[in-house]
Amino acid sequence: MNSKRFRRWLDGETDVMEHILDGKRGHDLPRQDQRRLQREAEEVAVVRMGRVIHSERRLFSAWYRVAAVLCCLALMAVFLYMVAHITRYGAENPRATEITERYVEHGLEETGAVNIVAGMILDYRAFDTLGESHVLFTALVCVMILLRRDQKNMRTAYEDYYRISEEDYFPTDRDQIARRVGGVLTPCILLFGIYILLNGQISPGGGFSGGAVLGAGLVIFASTRGDSAVDRFLTKRVFHWAAFCALSFYSFAKGYVFFTGANGLENHIPKGVPGAILSGGLILPLDIAVGLVVACTMFGFYSLFRRGTIAEDGAAHTAAGNGTAGSAAGGTATDTVTEGGAADNTPDKEES
């Protein structure tokens, strides 16, 4: 058929461009039919999309189960391999004896710390301690994500955590006995925590224990003096910068030591005189860094469980003041309108 039309066009009998400008429009469907067809097309599209999503979910679920089983089997194989190479019970382990002798006999010379436990944690096993510090910080971030209260999840625009704490918790900062006892104990606890933190390389203590004591002191201070007293010096910005600087210093300092040690280079970090407070090389600043992370984590847990947030830089007091002013202004405006309405309605009633 197409060949005949082509021959006729070649012979000049027909012109294929003759009716190209002729507009041929069919009759439009009624509006109800158009809506019905559109609704049916949308329903078909939704059904097809649902089938696609269902099939993708089934495929993902199948692959997820297979991947989970493979990961579990691989982890079990690694554990079984490790257990198979563990020294049997009662048999001597020469490698463990070598490590113990190395720590005891050469620990003071290699680390410069009288407290061999601090030398092990922050020198021989510093990479492990770095991971533990990051685990604490990650745990705090997770708790903050789950428990933090802000303007996005408040019931009203003027609700803040100070009002929530007054409604949901007993105000321990108003108890005179707790305030007096806390005022006596808090300075002693903080001073003792600083002592443990700074003497970890020459006596029992260090970053974890000193940070725990400092965190407990901050918790007691906040409980007896109120959250607003802590917010004056420990804001969210200070909290974040303290944790960030501590973890960054730990990472870069030990990274430098790891790099120089792995390449057989001297790190040129003085170890000081054993027994002095400025001894142990990087153990003292690393103790301070770990202590800051532990103290911030402990107080962060308390603050998030207690009131749902760590105070902003002056935002809490501003929000509370704005809320009180807004409520007062709203009440005044309402009273004014009510009095005006009553004044306007009184003559009408008298006239009627």
On whether residue 346 sits in a domain, the answer given is no
pLDDT in the model for residue 79:
93
pLDDT in the model for residue 308:
76
On whether residue 318 sits in a domain, the answer given is yes
Q: Collapse the DSSP code of 275 into the 3-class scheme (helix H, G, I; strand E, B; otherwise coil) and give the result.
A: coil
Nearest to 311 by CA among 222, 199, 183: 222
Q: Are 250 and 289 in contact (CB under 8 A)?
A: yes
Query: Quick one: which H or E segment has residue 144?
Result: helix 126-147
CA 337 to chain CA centroid, Å, is 47
DSSP string, 281-312: TTHHHHHHHHHHHHHHHHHHHHHHHHHSS---
On whether residue 345 sits in a domain, the answer given is no
For residues 193 and 64, membership in a common domain is answered with no
pLDDT in the model for residue 151:
63
**In whole angstroms, how large is the CA radius of gyration of the chain?**
37
For residues 143 and 256, membership in a common domain is answered with yes
Q: How many Å apart are CA 219 and CA 197, to the nearest integer? A: 18
Q: Which domain range does residue 44 map to? A: 34-85
Q: How many CB atoms lie under 10 A from the CB of residue 181?
A: 13
On whether residue 253 sits in a domain, the answer given is yes
Q: Are 194 and 214 in contact (CB under 8 A)?
A: yes
User: How many domains does the chain contain in total?
Assistant: 2
For residues 119 and 47, membership in a common domain is answered with no
On whether residue 319 sits in a domain, the answer given is yes
SS3 content of the chain, % helix, strand, coil (to 5): 75, 0, 25
For residues 46 and 140, membership in a common domain is answered with no
CA 53 to chain CA centroid, Å, is 32
For residues 54 and 185, membership in a common domain is answered with no
What is the 3-state secondary structure of 173-234? HHCHHHHHHHHHHHHHHHHHHHHHHHCCCCCCCCHHHHHHHHHHHHHHHHHHHCHHHHHCCC
Q: Are 323 and 163 in contact (CB under 8 A)?
A: yes
pLDDT in the model for residue 322:
43
On whether residue 213 sits in a domain, the answer given is yes
pLDDT per residue rounded down to tens, the chain (352 residues) = 566 767 777 676 666 666 555 544 445 567 777 788 888 888 888 888 888 888 888 888 888 889 999 999 999 999 999 988 887 777 777 777 777 778 888 888 888 888 888 888 888 888 888 888 888 888 888 888 887 776 666 655 545 555 555 555 566 667 788 888 888 999 999 999 999 988 888 888 888 888 999 999 999 998 888 878 888 888 888 888 888 898 899 889 888 888 888 888 887 888 878 878 888 888 888 889 989 989 988 888 888 887 777 766 554 444 444 444 444 344 443 343 333 333 344 334 333 3
pLDDT in the model for residue 312:
60
On whether residue 135 sits in a domain, the answer given is yes
Mention every residue, 6+ apart, whose C-beta is less than 8 A from residue 141.
Answer: none
On whether residue 105 sits in a domain, the answer given is no
For residues 63 and 148, membership in a common domain is answered with no
- Tell me how many degrees the CA angle 9-13-15 measures, rounded to the nearest 5: 55
For residues 80 and 118, membership in a common domain is answered with no
How big is the chain, counted in residues?
A: 352
CA 125 to chain CA centroid, Å, is 26
